[in-house]
């Protein structure tokens, strides 16, 4: 597998959205940027906050969630980054807080950010790092739910999962998605297998 060249964290711009469940992708990219000592700066032509380290790009779209594809495709086309070299980190209603799943392609599960990225790339072949936020139990409550901060105990589970994702980064950076999946897909409370 090719190593990822573009890491996209999904979220909404603006201080009022910072702690929302829907901004989980932004949280990860900010943490990864800190770890890799990459500074993110606004870049108008890429519609987002962008940072670079060698061949690796980090992107936080500033287009609002439902137009995320505009930012992704602008940067990917400019630097000739292929869909299977893109990793998108996003909140996932279908996984409990603390759950995580790394996969390539597939549907969008009604996630507006993924939907727009698929539409702009014309293929679903990019990688997704799906981090669970749980479901409110009622579809009519979803918008309200994702635009609120997690409860304290949920935040602790999400933070622990994001740390696991950061720990799996060296495997992801090498394009070793199978090893990253093994490290990430252990059940909560189970120690990860050591290589």
Helix 24-36 and helix 152-167, axial crossing angle in degrees, nearest 10: 40
Which candidate, 28, 17, 23, places its Cα nearest to that of 129?
28
Establish whether 112 is an annotated binding residue: yes
Enumerate the active-site residues. Answer: 22
Give per-residue pLDDT as tens, 24-51. 999 999 999 999 999 999 999 999 999 9
Give per-residue pLDDT as tens, 90-140. 999 999 999 999 999 999 988 999 999 999 999 999 999 999 999 999 999
At residue 194, does pLDDT exceed 70? no
pTM of the model: 0.94
Establish whether 167 is an annotated binding residue: no
Phi, psi of 89 (to 5 degrees): -105, 130
Q: In whole angstroms, how far apart are CA 186 and each of 61, 94, 98, 139?
A: 30, 17, 11, 29
- Is-contact 5 56, C-beta < 8 A? yes
pLDDT of residue 187: 56
Phi, psi of 64 (to 5 degrees): 75, 150
Establish whether 177 is an annotated binding residue: no
CATH 1.10.540.10 fits 6-184, yes or no: no
At residue 188, does pLDDT exceed 60? no
- How many residues make up the chain in this entry? 195
Show me where the domains of the chain are located: 6-184
């Amino acid at each position: 597998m090719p190593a990822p060249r573009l890491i996209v964290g999904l979220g909404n711009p603006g201080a009022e959205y910072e702690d929302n469940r829907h901004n989980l992708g932004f949280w990860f990219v900010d943490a990864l940027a800190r770890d890799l000592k990459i500074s993110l700066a606004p870049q108008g032509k890429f519609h987002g906050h962008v940072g670079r380290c060698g061949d690796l790009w980090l992107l936080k779209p500033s287009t609002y969630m439902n137009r995320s594809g505009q930012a992704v495709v602008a940067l990917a086309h400019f630097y000739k980054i292929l869909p299977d070299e893109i990793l998108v980190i996003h909140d996932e209603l279908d996984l409990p807080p603390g759950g995580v799943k790394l996969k390539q392609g597939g549907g969008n599960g009604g996630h507006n950010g993924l939907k727009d990225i698929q539409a702009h790339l014309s293929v679903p072949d990019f990688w997704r790092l799906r981090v669970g936020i749980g479901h409110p139990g009622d579809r009519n409550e979803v918008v309200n739910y994702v635009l609120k901060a997690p409860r304290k105990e949920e935040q602790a589970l999400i933070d622990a999962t994001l740390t696991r994702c950061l720990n799996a980064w060296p495997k992801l950076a090498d394009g070793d998605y199978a090893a990253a999946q093994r490290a990430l897909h252990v059940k909560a409370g189970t120690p990860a297998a050591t290589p």
